[in-house]
Structure 1
Amino acid sequence: MGGRVARFVPGWWAVAVLMAGVLLIPAAPAAAHNSLTGSDPANGARLADPPTRIRLSFLARLDPGTTKITITGPDNVPASGGAPTISGSKVTVPFRAGAAGLYVVAYQVASSDGHPIKGEVRFTLTRGTPAAPPSATPTAAPSAVPGGPTAGQPTATPSGAPAPSSTVAVPGSPAADTDSDGGAPWWPWALGAALLLAALAGAIVLTRRRKV
């Protein structure tokens, strides 16, 4: 009985080794593929203060020649602040924050068997960077009316025409009785001289009659 058991023991060991080999065969290609193990910010994070850099960690060492990282913000605006820096299995990219909203970090790395691995990390900024203050707009000066005087300038008088007077002449007033050269009227003086001569002549005639 004991000899029969001893003859079958090597057969069971052969079966166990064969089954272990079958189970380990699928694990070999899986180990050859690279994969993301972590990120900062984490996938799905919501941040009030924007980070200064994005960091991704992978299972295997990264190749700088085949590693590609892009960061886009709302409306697909690029948000990378510079080229990525690779150190072993980690890659760091400067981040340039923009408007509040969803940001997508897309990556592409190569595995040891040459197979490319692609993926995304998404996070949300709850508040964006403040916008630049608007520049001051100069106030336009009022345009002059064609043919009219400009505000603040005196009205030009045509050459040869008398300047308009601010005094309104009333008929019968001294201002209305001035002649064209600006002097006083001459006819009152002539009338007074004539009356004086007539009175003098009458006085001479009366004196002579009294003497006769």
Structure 2
Amino acid sequence: MAMGRWLDRLLVLVIVCGIALAGLAAPASAHGQLVLSTPAKDSTVSAPMESLSLYFTEKPAPNAYFTITAPSGVRVDRRWSHGQPKRLDEPVQEYTLIDGVWEPNLFHTGFPAKIPVAHWPEKGPYVVRYQSVASDGEEVQGEVRFTYTGKTSGPPKGWEAPTDQPDPALLAALGQGGPTPTRAFGNATPQGASPSASVPQAGPQPAPPATPPPVPADSGTGVMVWLLPAVLVAGVGIMVVRAARRPSPQGANRRAPTGPRAKATKTTNTSKTPPARRTTAPRPAQRTKAPKRR
């Protein structure tokens, strides 16, 4: 009984440790990510908009790349620019790897990239794509999809759809090797922020790194790869041992004896008691009648 209780407690401890280690795994949230967009993701736009805005937890790199694609695949974006920072309704928590430890940080401000829309050629699903690199070297890329149901419009006079590609330095920082057409969203020259846009600076603007900064080797993710499965295997092993040592219910696996052994057992276990003697009360003596005198 003592061994069984000890195994039960050890099993509970193993399960609790496994859950705790799973919670301490390296966070998936990276620095400088998208936190807000106008229009919102998967929303419906019923009226034409002059520009779209994507808000990040830090200013996008100067050579960040943005495109807006109509349902037919044609691009309708103009050159993007930094916008006025906006305080977020709720702070966003992100993690930064410092000396091999993921440190949480709260961000209260969103830094927008404004992408003007030249025209709205058709109704249907539009896609906004973005590529950038955060100040700590993390990749920042993704897309925002929405549906346009408003009034359509033709291209402005002299308009030509953009055919530019991301900056080669940006692609190198993202680990894509170069401005190959299959890896880019456009087709030709690099795109950057508008030089005429002036935005209040909260601090010095970080220059885009040519290559991502090295991440410390001991980030804790390698340990988690083997430690968590080992804990789970240990827990399963303890459960198996516990089940093997658990006694079976009384009489569940016992078989009734047969043959002469059964008769001997029955004779041994059966006790005969002598029948109770029958006792009767003595009969009263008969009274004799006295002879009558004549």
What TM bracket, shorter-length normalisation?
0.3 to 0.5
Where relative contact order (Cα < 8 A, 6+ residues apart) is larger, the structure is 2
TM-score where L is the length of structure 1: 0.44
Question: Which has the larger share of helix?
Answer: 1
TM-score where L is the length of structure 2: 0.33
User: Could you say which structure has the larger radius of gyration?
Assistant: 1
